[in-house]
Structures are given as C-alpha cells and as structure tokens.
C-alpha cells in the first residue's frame, strides 16, 4: 500500500510534454490516471489509484503535477481513511516538479512517439525525493499529448520514510505482510492552453 510511489510516477510523466516555446499546457484530469499496486500476505495483489490529479507546464518548461492525497482510492473506505491518516498524516497534497526540454519535445508530429528518460522531484510529507523513469510520449493531436510509463515504475516505502506507517497498517489489518516495493503506472494527458497554435 505504498501510495507515496504513485506520486512519484506523476512527476516523471509530466516531464515529457511536447510544446512550442511560447505554449503552456494543462493536465486533463479526467483522462489521466496514476495507479499503484500492493501485495498483502504474499499472494493477494491489489490495485489502487488517486481519483483526482491536476498539473501544468509553463512556457519555460517548468512542470508541476499535484496529487491530492485525500483522493486515494483503494476500493475499501476504511482503508482509504487509514491511508490518509496514517501514511499521509492528513497532508493534503503531494507535488511533482521537473523541467522539460521543450525544443526537443516539440519536434514530435501528430501520431509520432518517443521514449525518453526523465527525472524530477517528488515532494511528500516535507521530504523531497529524486525520481527517475523512462516514459513513452505520443502526440495524439495538435493540441493534445499523452505520456505513460514505459513499463512500470518501482518505488519503495523507505524512500519516503513511511515504513513505520505501513507497519501500523499491517498490524491494524492483522496481516502477515505488506509489500514495501510497489509497481506504479501513469497515464497523463495534457491539453494545450492555446489550441491551434
């Protein structure tokens, strides 16, 4: 149940949005998704997600993706509450930031794609953690770009110092184990703020 991992995924995605030097882009929350997996008692795998995302890329290539931690969705209400209270300490938001090479990315034409190495910073619970991922980027339209993880991003709870919180979850739920490394997948869709430019 390592939600922190998910946020990390959001960061990497944002880094790869193609755009012209004067353009700005806004994350399409309805079309975007960050999901992460957990395994309890060794064999019971589950998929979780954040139901709300927002973000933008400014004309200088500065990327910011915000993940409201209160929107965590594990498909069990009491577990959602425990995640918010124990793991996220009632913190409202995790933030991912990065800088984009807009000149290189703007060379993608409609229907063209690329795989790019990205790095950014995940800010969560007062800590900043560097994150790295290979991302698949495709320009699906003149005014729309989609970015996904190229494979899965694997993140560990100890990177963000939430092992103690996972211990609490495990104890409360009466589980023998909860994985401390989670696979994360990300799909981010960005819309141009200047359609047709």
Is residue 21 within 8 Å of residue 103, measured between CB atoms? yes
Over pLDDT 70: what percentage of the chain? 87
Structure token pair of residue 126: 């007062």
User: What distance separates the 2 farthest-apart alpha carbons in the chain?
Assistant: 56
pLDDT single digits (tens) 18-77: 444 457 899 999 999 999 999 999 999 999 999 999 999 887 778 899 999 999 999 999
More confident of the two residues 42 and 161: 42
What span, in angstroms and rounded, lies between the C-alpha atoms of 75 and 63?
30
Structure token pair of residue 165: 């919180």
For residue 131, what pLDDT is reported? Answer: 86
pTM: 0.84
Cα Rg of the chain (Å, integer): 17
Domain ranges of the chain: 3-192
What's the whole-number average pLDDT of the chain? 85
Q: Name the helix (H) or strand (E) containing 118.
A: strand 113-124
Structure token pair of residue 29: 């929350």
Give 180's DSSP letter. S
* Residue 5 in this model has a pLDDT that exceeds 60: no
In the 3-class helix/strand/coil scheme, how is 9-69 assigned residue by residue? HHHHHHCCCCCCCCCCEEECHHHCEEEEEEEECCCEEEEEEECCCEEEECCCCEEEEEEEH
What span, in angstroms and rounded, lies between the C-alpha atoms of 119 and 20?
21
| CATH architecture group of domain 3-192 | Beta Barrel (2.40)
Structure token pair of residue 39: 């395994």
105 pLDDT band, cuts 50/70/90, is confident
């Amino acid at each position: 149940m390592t939600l922190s991992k998910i946020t990390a995924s959001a960061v990497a995605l944002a880094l790869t949005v193609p755009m012209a030097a004067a353009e700005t882009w806004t994350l399409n929350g309805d079309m975007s998704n960050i999901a992460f997996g957990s395994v309890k008692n060794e064999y019971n795998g589950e998929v979780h997600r954040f139901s709300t995302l927002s973000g933008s890329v400014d004309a200088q290539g500065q990327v910011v993706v915000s993940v409201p931690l209160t929107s965590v969705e594990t498909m069990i209400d009491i577990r959602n509450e425990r995640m918010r209270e124990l793991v996220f300490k009632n913190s409202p938001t995790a933030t991912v930031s990065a800088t984009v090479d807009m000149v290189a990315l703007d060379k993608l034409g409609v229907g063209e794609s690329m795989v790019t190495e990205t790095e950014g910073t995940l800010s969560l619970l007062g800590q900043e953690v560097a994150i790295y991922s290979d991302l698949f980027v495709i320009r699906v339209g003149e005014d729309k770009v989609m970015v996904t993880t190229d494979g899965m991003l694997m993140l560990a709870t100890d990177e963000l110092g939430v092992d103690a919180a996972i211990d609490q979850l495990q104890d409360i739920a009466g589980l023998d184990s909860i994985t401390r490394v989670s696979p994360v997948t990300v799909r981010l869709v960005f819309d141009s703020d200047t359609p047709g430019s």
